[in-house]
Structure 1
Amino acid sequence: MADTGDKEGASADTLLADIQKKITEAFDIFDHESNKTVDVREIGTIIRSLGCCPTEGELHDMLAEIEEEEPTGYIRFDKFLQMMTHVMLERRYKPVPEEMLLKAFAVLDQEKKGFLSQEELQKYMSEEGEPFTQEEMEEMLSAAVDPDKGVIYYKDFASMMAVENP
């Protein structure tokens, strides 16, 4: 009969294998040359697809950790796998829960109307914190704006934005 220590060891090994499988699959999608490298500009997308939401500053720190001594513009899989395994095991850069997103939108909705205009959202997203680029703004608005009313019902948008914890 196996003791519980063996079961815990097996489940830790399974967790590690599952995490590394997810990382490998996400990386491989962007490894267009199938040479175990990806363009450094794709790393943020890969990391976010794995359910991690680092800030731009945190992303730059992560890149500094895994880039070559002489930057090539590419990130090698072995370095990425090692770093992301630690990040995911430690559950770093967890996404913000939906309730917190709702509270943030409610603060912006000073008149308590339940929605924000496109102009209001653009103003808030381009003036504070890490400003969105025009391309990011257009992409977000295309997903956020109610096609009939032309406004952002933030309760619905917060639900769309919320990332389920893996």
Structure 2
Amino acid sequence: MDFDTPVVVTNDLEKRIAEAFSMFDHIGNKTIDVREVGTILRFLGCTPTEQEINEIISATEFEDTRGTIHLSRFLSHVCQLLTERKMEPVSPEKLLEAFQVLDPDGNGFLTKEFMSKIMMEEGEPFTQEELDEMMAVAIDPQTGNISYEYYLNQLMYEPKESIFELAANAKALQSKKF
């Protein structure tokens, strides 16, 4: 693969993905280390599972230089996944319901210890780094607990247009061409 091959960006979805990709292209040759894939996807507002991240890596990684992904492969593959509405986050209402299930007494908060145990041991476990990043935002410095409604409000920042709105627009444009 020629690292100097120009990558043509044709719509807002591709532009947003390319911009996020370039933030992690530390050499400036339109490539990233495979370990950055999950970070880029989460930066874009996606919620991929580890399996989905590994599938993207398998589909886009260079055969001859393992561990490297070029923008051209990443861009087309991720655009396709997003137009199929893959890796879409759950709604704030569903997140609130999940927190309420974990809080059967209806206290409105969870302890740091309980939340850490759940995040590290249940479902798709967080790494210690991911847990530390979450806790830095989630914990109320006054009580040391996680007031989940407040935490969810902090998570609800959305850019002007979400990556999934851009994907829907790109898909609509694509179907008009055919």
TM-score, with structure 2 as normaliser: 0.79
- Out of 126, 137, 144, the position equivalent to 2:138 is 144
Report Cα offsets for 1:41-80 as digits up to 9, x if no partner. Answer: 1111111222221111111111111112245211111100
Instruction: Give 1:90 deviation, angstroms.
Output: 2.1
Structure 1 range deviating more: 47-56 or 156-165:
156-165
- Out of 19, 22, 31, the position equivalent to 1:28 is 22
Instruction: Give 1:134 deviation, angstroms.
Output: 1.5
Alpha-carbon distance between aligned partners in 1 of 2:68 and 2:105, rounded to the nearest angstrom: 48
Change in Cα spacing, 1:66 to 1:163, as seen in structure 2 (3 Å) is farther
Amino acid at match of 1:51: G
For structure 1, the 5+ residue unaligned runs are 1-15
Alpha-carbon distance between aligned partners in 2 of 1:102 and 1:154, rounded to the nearest angstrom: 8
Higher Rg of the two aligned structures: 1
Query: Are the equivalent residues in 2 in contact too, given 1:95–1:163 (CA < 8 A)?
Result: no
Query: Are the equivalent residues in 2 in contact too, given 1:95–1:162 (CA < 8 A)?
Result: no
Alpha-carbon distance between aligned partners in 2 of 1:116 and 1:70, rounded to the nearest angstrom: 48
What is residue 74 of structure 2 aligned with on the other side?
A: 80
What is residue 128 of structure 1 aligned with on the other side?
A: 122
Amino acid at match of 1:136: E
**Pairing 1:39-54 to 2, within 5 Å after superposition:** 39-54=33-48
Aligned-pair Cα RMSD in Å: 1.5
Report Cα offsets for 1:120-142 as digits up to 9, x if no partner. Answer: 10111112111111221122111
Query: Are the equivalent residues in 2 in contact too, given 1:19–1:88 (CA < 8 A)?
Result: no
Query: Are the equivalent residues in 2 in contact too, given 1:117–1:150 (CA < 8 A)?
Result: yes
Amino acid at match of 1:91: R
What is residue 11 of structure 1 aligned with on the other side?
A: none
Amino acid at match of 1:97: S
What is residue 92 of structure 2 aligned with on the other side?
A: 98
Q: Is the helix fraction higher in 1 or 2? A: 1
Residues 1:155 and 2:169 aligned together: no
Query: Are the equivalent residues in 2 in contact too, given 1:39–1:75 (CA < 8 A)?
Result: yes
What is residue 51 of structure 2 aligned with on the other side?
A: 57
Amino acid at match of 1:78: S
Alpha-carbon distance between aligned partners in 2 of 1:142 and 1:122, rounded to the nearest angstrom: 12
